[in-house]
Amino acid sequence: MMLNYARLDQISREYGDSFYLLNSSLYEDNYCKMLDAFQKYYPNTHIAYSYKTNYIPKLCRIIQRLGGYAEVVSEMEMELALSLGVESVNIYYNGPYKKENYIEKLMLGEGYLNIDADYEIAIVSKIAERHRDREFVVGVRYNMDIGQDVPSRFGIPKEDLKCAIERLNRIPNLRVTGLHCHLPFRSPDSFQARMKDLKELLFGEMKGYVWSYISLGGGYMGEVSDELAGQFSFAPPKYEDYAKIVAGQMAELYQNHAEKPKLIIEPGSALAANTMCFVTRVVNIKKVRGKAIATLTGSTYNINPSVKSIKRPITVYSDKGQEQYEDLDMAGYTCIESDYLYKNYSGSLSVGDFVVFHNVGSYSIVMKPPFILPDVPILEFENGNLCLIRKSQSIERVFMDFL
């Protein structure tokens, strides 16, 4: 549904002056387009959606319905997946902090565990010993080095990887069959470097080793507007660009192999980022030493506080004549000096206007703390009707667990 001031004002009267709007159909389209792009080059590609990026249950159910997998990094996310009916065999468990009881639950359910560090080797050894009548398979996370300035803190370095795999394979009823790696860089060059390093590992140090799956993790970009694209130091890749590099080179690596491992990709932002917008309202506009500053009913904590260098595209909706500004900053409701949602805005703006921030589906709702104000509702238009996806967090809910 097309937005306008009257529609937003009507919604705000019922749900408050700040709220998220979700487009789950766009999310489903993103999933299908990305998977199609990769499978064109390497048919045995599968998506394991990164729950930590945006764990709205409706989005997770779409992945399940379309035959995708769940990628989780905590017991909280695993419990969500299981509660939604995701079978353990469709769960990939990553992350640096895993509890023994959840590792055991996943292993007994024949899910996919990717070991990050030595302490997990000790845990799976104990689990395998307790269940000698069972055969287990696990994966290992490889600490990939592509020349980045700061080494990744995750996974097992190349010089230790073969030894770790040998230690695991000495457990009588356990076998390492999966290889996982992930880096946060999004440029095409970084993926080229990943595939070069992966080739050296697979056909060098680990030549001849048989893998059932190879996971390249996430780090992919989704569709972005021209305004957002212009803020990056490289041209934002399309799904096709990533697919040609990753899936295309996987096809080349295994073209002469009868058994081809699954290629697992774990997108989060690539699927969810452009599927949500955040609606907030102008409370006040003042000038400080000649600088115009608008206070909004939202905060940078609503749109992912870890990414402050990116100015998300905005749309302003008004029902009145507006004053023009050449250099206005939009600040949040918190008492933090650095809480700015948008800087150096040029255009018209008035008190009472709505400012809609686009491309906020990635790491926004999952990183919002109960700081200053409770969280806001999530809504979606379905067949012309407004549906409540998540109700606003009450003040009572914020404090009910304190003793």
Q: State the pLDDT confidence band at 223, using cuts at 50, 70 and 90.
A: confident
> CA-CA distance, 131 to 118, in Å (whole number)?
20
What local confidence, expressed as pLDDT, does residue 243 receive?
Answer: 97
The two structure tokens encoding residue 36: 């199609």
Rounded to 10 degrees, what is the CA torsion of 139, 141, 145, 146?
70
Q: State the pLDDT confidence band at 278, using cuts at 50, 70 and 90.
A: very high
What local confidence, expressed as pLDDT, does residue 63 receive?
Answer: 97
pLDDT tens digits for range 129-186? 999 999 999 999 999 999 888 999 999 999 999 999 999 999 999 999 999 999 988 8
pLDDT tens digits for range 77-109? 999 999 999 999 999 999 999 999 999 999 999
Could you tell me the pTM of the whole model? 0.95
Q: Check whether 301 has a pLDDT greater than 80.
A: yes
Burial class of residue 367 (count of CB atoms within 10 Å of its CB; 0-12, 13-18, 19+): middle
Q: Please, are residues 133 and 126 in contact by the beta-carbon 8 Å criterion?
A: no
Residue 317, SS3 per DSSP: strand
> CA-CA distance, 359 to 313, in Å (whole number)?
7
What local confidence, expressed as pLDDT, does residue 1 receive?
Answer: 62
Q: Which residues face 213 on adjacent strands? A: 178, 262
pLDDT, mean over the chain: 94
What local confidence, expressed as pLDDT, does residue 341 receive?
Answer: 95
Q: State the pLDDT confidence band at 235, using cuts at 50, 70 and 90.
A: confident
